Structure 1
Amino acid sequence: MARESDNATWPEAEALLAALSPAMVALMDELSAVMFCAKDATGRYVLVNEVFVRRTHERSRRGVVGRRARDLFVPDLAERYEAQDAEVLRTGRPLRGELELIRRSGGAPGWFLTSKLPVRTPGGAVVGLVSVSQDLRSQDADDATMDAMSRLVAGVQAHLDTTPSAPLTVADLAALAGCSPDALERRVRRVFGLSPRQLVLRSRVDRAAHLLAETTTPLAEVAAATGFYDQPSFTRQFARLTGETPSSFRRRARRA
């Protein structure tokens, strides 16, 4: 990957490359079903793997590096990608588990699960982002399943935005997904490898991690904003899933 990105020498690209781990970048080329890219703060591609190149009309990474989404994808997809990128860069908040229908060059559309994370300098400035999109064909999930999961993820996020303290039952989740509880269980496990309750818990912890890293909101308020019963239960669950307490997570994020 490094050889193909030698032409990424503009200032924004250099700032991003300096903030990335070389080992992580090298590992991305080993992925056979995951698209990877790194974009600078202006939206230009700085690094991509071969899987990413195959989703464009270009033949090599040299044809992708230095260009933007609008140069490589159909307008509706490009607009979606650029809106996602702008939000991540503006807020510094990761995008996780976004279901996307990505059109393959010369083939049928396919479902991908996309995550985007901001890249920061040691001083904390956001200089770009990295993105991975997992091809879900290997999960053998049909479009009806993926459509249900898209509705479910959006519904859980809306619930956290508006009424985080209200419990979400399996019946509630099934209603969000538009399927029966039994079908919900099968579909969530097929796509995410989790139970429905685990998926909700992960969403709550992801939201809490953002608040801890990006705000000075007191821990008790973070617990309430992410649907935990109280601060002690929040601390126990967060530590179980992340390996560190909310306080230590916040301290480490501030040092990064």
Structure 2
Amino acid sequence: MKSAGETAQKNDARMALSGVIGDVFFAETLFDALSDVVFFVKDSVGRYVVVNDTLVRRCGLKDKAALIGRTPAEVFSQPFGQRYLAQDLDVLAGRSEIDDQLELHLYPNRDPGWCLTRKTALRSKSGEIVGLAGISRDLAMEDKKNPAYHKVAAAVRLIHERYDQPLSLADLAQTANMSVAQIERYFLRIFHLTPRQFIIKTRLDAASRLLAGKTSVADIAQACGYADHSAFTRQFRATVGVTPSQYRAMLGV
């Protein structure tokens, strides 16, 4: 825990720096260099003020000017755009912050992509919320080049083989010959996901592939490890932002 002196010193350093930086949005240039990270700053009503090149490409647009001054509801197809705006308005109202939320996105070419999203409120010197900043980081899954991957490989294999069955942290830990705390740390280090998020992702990956075919939603729910149709629909909507049937319709099936 930081002492009062350390906190005061940190605040003094911030104040000194804020007084000499000419462009408070200097990070935009840095984030332009990251092709796997979306970065944005929005104003008090959720309109884009700063974006990076990755976000422009993900939206299928040509330049940043096409995004500035618009809300997600005006940029993304529905119901995705309205969902992102609703997230923003919750953050701007001080009701919540988005902290590494697992999300499945549909890119302009209809390819699905997984990411972790984080959004935080921006406050004035008086403490008033005046905007928000956020990032959405692509998940490069199955990072088998990571030196630690072999330690959790057995647990990952178990998830892929038995995602249609109930799986507990204890099951995964026993398979990897680790404690529960150890396997949670390794999953976060390698995949940037908790084991539970990894299971959800694996199940919904399978579900999204099946939704591109003619299998009924009820049968897909059962095949992907959900107790019933409604449990599957709740999880799918919470992660993707639409129901399985809406997702299927967006794919043109």
Q: Does 1:23 align with 2:35?
A: no
Residue of structure 2 equivalent to 1:190:
190
Deviation at 1:27, TM superposition (A): 2.0
| Alignment partners' CA distance in 2, 1:173 and 1:119 | 38
| Alignment partners' CA distance in 1, 2:42 and 2:87 | 12
Cα 1:173–1:189 shift into 2, 3 Å: farther
Cα 1:173–1:188 shift into 2, 3 Å: farther
Superposition TM-score, scaled by structure 2 size: 0.50
Residue of structure 2 equivalent to 1:174:
169
| Alignment partners' CA distance in 2, 1:138 and 1:72 | 27
Deviation at 1:51, TM superposition (A): 0.4
Corresponding letter in the other structure for 1:111: W
Deviation at 1:28, TM superposition (A): 1.9
Q: Does 1:134 align with 2:137?
A: yes
Deviation at 1:137, TM superposition (A): 2.7
Q: Is the 8 A contact 2:28 2:52 kept in 1?
A: no
Report 1:1-256 matches (<5 A).
Answer: 21-91=24-94, 93-137=96-140, 140=143, 174=169, 180-181=172-173, 182=175, 185=183, 187-192=187-192
Q: Is the 8 A contact 2:28 2:51 kept in 1?
A: no
Cα 1:121–1:106 shift into 2, 3 Å: same
Identity of aligned residues (%): 32
| Alignment partners' CA distance in 1, 2:190 and 2:83 | 26
Q: Could you tell which deviates more after superposition, 186-195 or 52-61?
A: 186-195
| Alignment partners' CA distance in 2, 1:94 and 1:173 | 28
Cα 1:95–1:59 shift into 2, 3 Å: same
Q: Is the 8 A contact 1:111 1:136 kept in 2?
A: yes
Secondary structure at the aligned position of 1:130 is classed as strand
Q: Is the 8 A contact 1:92 1:118 kept in 2?
A: no
Corresponding letter in the other structure for 1:191: F
Q: How many residues align?
A: 148
More helix by share: 1
Secondary structure at the aligned position of 2:61 is classed as coil
| Alignment partners' CA distance in 1, 2:44 and 2:193 | 33
**Deviations, residues 188-235 of structure 1 (Å, cap 9, x unaligned):** 443217789xxxxxxxxxxxxxxxxxxxxxxxxxxxxxxxxxxxxxxx
| Alignment partners' CA distance in 1, 2:48 and 2:58 | 14
Corresponding letter in the other structure for 1:136: L
Cα 1:30–1:138 shift into 2, 3 Å: farther
Deviation at 1:44, TM superposition (A): 0.9
Secondary structure at the aligned position of 2:33 is classed as coil
Corresponding letter in the other structure for 1:109: P
Q: Is the 8 A contact 1:189 1:195 kept in 2?
A: no
| Alignment partners' CA distance in 1, 2:122 and 2:95 | 9
| Alignment partners' CA distance in 2, 1:112 and 1:134 | 5
Residue of structure 1 equivalent to 2:219:
none
Secondary structure at the aligned position of 2:26 is classed as helix
| Alignment partners' CA distance in 2, 1:32 and 1:138 | 16
Deviation at 1:86, TM superposition (A): 1.4
| Alignment partners' CA distance in 1, 2:169 and 2:79 | 29
**Deviations, residues 47-78 of structure 1 (Å, cap 9, x unaligned):** 11110011113211111111111121121211
Secondary structure at the aligned position of 2:115 is classed as strand
Specify every segment of 5 or more residues in structure 1 that has no aligned partner in the other structure, as ranges.
Answer: 1-17, 149-170, 197-256
Please identify the structure whose Cα radius of gyration is greater.
2
| Alignment partners' CA distance in 2, 1:131 and 1:67 | 16
